[in-house]
A and B are shown apart, each in its own frame.
Chain A
Amino acid sequence: MNRGIALKAAREALGVTIAFAIAAMVFEGLLAAILPVVPEQITEQWLQIGFVQKIFQGLLGTKVGNLTTSTALTAIAWVHPMVLTIFWAHAITQCTQIPAGEIDHGTIDLLGSLPVSRLGLFTSTFLVWLLDGVVLVIAAMAGHLIGQQFAPHADRSGWAELAPVLVNLYVLYAAVCGLAALSSVASDRRGRAVAAVFGVLIGMYVLNFLAQLWEPARSVSFLSVLYYYRPLDVLREGVWPARDLIVLGAAGAVTWVVAAVVFSRRDIRTV
């Protein structure tokens, strides 16, 4: 761990993280404020249609049951594609910075002239990105709490109820960070690294969605990171999703270790 490298990473991530944190806060706030107004219309009209029910099932990754409960509404706010997009886009933007982004910009030479081991460089930077994830989760939760103040629903969820979901979301973020880092160390071009990890995530999202609707997809749905992120189940059962946290944490750790090893051994050249 090198403090200077961490400070550099933090300086570079500052603007992006603030922007994404505001986006997460605003969007989560809007969902928390608006969703409780919608349920009656949903139950009465939309959920009568089987296909729409399937869509919600796909979105939430589990059987919807009665969507009018505050639990289900809260869950929607945490699996909304926009929320996932904010977290994933931040992870991808940041975690493809080293080495692909630095090689792309040609700044890797300057970085490579410094007396920091590649592992030290990778670790120091990655820790900052992981901390940025904490900022995003806190911002999203803050937005959620603020949004709830404007909602008519009396049954509000606080830190205690949402803690398992927040940790689950954070570990999902960390797993995506690992994936993005792996893509980055395997590439000399940031665009390619971003495209590769984005493609994989879109594939996982589609797989998770299809798994609720199509039997063959269900049998391989465990390959998607979203298989291990089911806020509705977590909120319904009120227990910590230990298995999901372990799997996502392990996925993040393994991809990070592989990325660190590849980065430590690969050639760095800007031409």
Chain B
Amino acid sequence: MRAARLHSLPGGQATPVSIIETEKLTKRYGRRVGVEALDLRVGEGTVHGFLGPNGSGKTTTIRLLLGLMRSSAGRAKIFGRDCWRDAHVIKREVGYLPGDLRLYSWLTGRSALRLFSTIRKRDIRRQGAQLAEEFELELNVRARFMSRGMRQKLGLILALAHEPRLLVLDEPTTALDPIMQDRLNGRLRRMSAAGHTVFFSSHTLSEVEQLCDRVAILREGRLITDEALDDLRARARREVIIRWQPDHEPAPGVAPAFLTLVDAQKGEWRCTLSGNADRLVQWLADRPVGDVSIGRPDLETIFRDYYSRMEAL
């Protein structure tokens, strides 16, 4: 787990530096709510996942952060600067991959790197060529002849090549094959370890589990949770299988509250464990256990519960 970068305060306290900070950020489209009173903080050097069902307001939030849209109320800041007023200054240090990336049909990877170098007033061609090698992208193909995966790779290269302080990625692994997804994840982890901040939206929960330090979940434009993945893991249910020693199976009624018995037969209990495994280990310590297996935290169920409004937690 990477630690978020800390800022020393005069009193000796330390506080994480917020790269993204929103306060009551609201966007309405007429009567329809895009985002409502969003309070979000993304610390420097973290990988922050941004989840939510379709139409929950993820892309709207990203557009507000990039200064593509103006908030109806509240404010958003990146690097302490106003996302609307200082958008062009902020974007010097931001890499952005749109969700539905479209490229100019005449653009090749090479001409794109040349063009972006001129626009950014910073030569990104060498770094871009290295990334192209890493993502196995041929740089001389025109966008009109590229597959969706190739376009996505070029979009990623253009977002990464200037080594931005903040990466904003809208469903970055869409259209990438599993090997490229792994390479991207590896690249993002390395960038995060080097102090870069990654804020990305995704529908791929396994990817979120692998990459993120924190997860924010939006639903119907409202932030319903924003917490460390470790905390979510601690609260997540796990599948537990307990095999009792022959003829020593206790009565099902003795199962503690944190353990929900799903099935009990032939000296084997199948249960779900809510929260930390410590309590289970303690409870089992003085009982006649033959074998026990504890599954990985089931984050998917938590996410699904959040998505579908179930009061599961």
| CB-based contact B88/A110 at 8 Å | no
Known contacts A115-B92, A116-B88; is-contact A110 B103 (Cβ 8 Å): yes
Chain A proximity mask over B66-80: 1 for CB below 8 Å, otherwise 0: 111110000000000
Q: In the complex, how many angstroms separate the beta carbon of A194 from the nearest chain B beta carbon?
A: 19
A117 to B89, CA, bound (A): 8
Contact, CB under 8 Å: A11 / B106 = yes
- Closest residue of chain B to A105, judged by CB? B102
Query: Given A113-B66, A115-B88, A115-B89, are A107 and B116 also a contact pair (CB < 8 Å)?
Result: no
Let me know if A113 and B98 touch, CB within 8 A. yes
A7 close to B118 (CB less than 8 A): yes
A81 CB-CB contact with B under 8 Å:
no
Q: Evaluate whether A3 and B69 lie within 8 angstroms (CB atoms) in the complex, with A110-B98, A113-B94, A113-B98 already known.
A: no
In whole Å, how far is B45's beta carbon from the nearest beta carbon of chain A? Answer: 22
Q: How many A-B residue pairs have CB under 8 A?
A: 81
Question: Cβ of A120: which chain B residues have Cβ within 8 Å of it?
Answer: 88
Q: Does B292 contact A (CB under 8 A)?
A: no
B287 at the interface (CB under 8 A from A): no
Q: Are A113 and B118 closer than 8 Å at their CB atoms?
A: no
B-contact 0/1 string along A231-266, CB 8 Å cutoff: 000000000000000000000000000000000010
Q: How far is the CB of B122 from chain A (nearest CB, A)?
A: 9
* B-contacting residues, A1-43, CB 8 Å: 2-5, 7-8, 11-12
A215 contacts partner chain B, Cβ-Cβ < 8 Å: no
Contact across chains for A3 and B106 when beta carbons are under 8 A apart: no
Is A160 in the interface zone, CB < 8 Å from B?
A: no
Partner of A269, one of B63, B106, B158: B63
Pick from A4, A107, A270: contact of B118, CB under 8 Å:
A4
B88 touches A268 (CB 8 A): no
Knowing A5-B119, A114-B120, say if A107 contacts B69 (CB, 8 Å). Answer: no
A267, CB-defined interface residue at 8 Å? yes
User: By the criterion CB–CB under 8 Å, are B102 and A110 in contact?
Assistant: yes
User: How many chain A residues touch the partner (CB < 8 A)?
Assistant: 27
Contact call B100/A113, Cβ cutoff below 8 A: no
Residues of B near A116 (CB, < 8 A) are 88, 91, 119
Distance between Cα atoms of A11 and B114 in the complex (Å): 13
Which residues from B are CB-within-8-Å of A271?
59
A109 contacts B by Cβ under 8 Å: yes
Q: Is the CB of B100 within 8 A of A115?
A: no
B99 nearest CB across to chain A (Å): 8
**A203 proximity list for chain B (CB < 8 A):** none
Q: Which residues of B contact A112 (CB under 8 A)?
A: 66-68, 96
A106 near B100 (CB under 8 angstroms)? yes
Residues of A within 8 A of B117 (CB): 4
Would B106 and A12 count as touching, CB distance under 8 A?
Answer: yes
13 A-B contacts, Cβ less than 8 Å apart?
A: A4-B119, A4-B121, A110-B98, A110-B101, A110-B102, A110-B103, A112-B68, A113-B94, A113-B96, A115-B119, A115-B120, A265-B70, A267-B68
Residues of B with Cβ closer than 8 Å to A? Answer: 59, 63, 66-70, 87-92, 94-96, 98, 100-104, 106, 115-121, 155, 158-159
| 10 extra A-B contacts, CB within 8 A, seeds A4-B118, A109-B102, A268-B69 | A5-B119, A109-B96, A110-B101, A110-B104, A113-B91, A113-B94, A118-B88, A267-B63, A268-B68, A269-B63
For the complex of A and B, 6 pairs with smallest distance between CB atoms? A4-B119, A4-B118, A106-B102, A109-B98, A113-B96, A115-B91
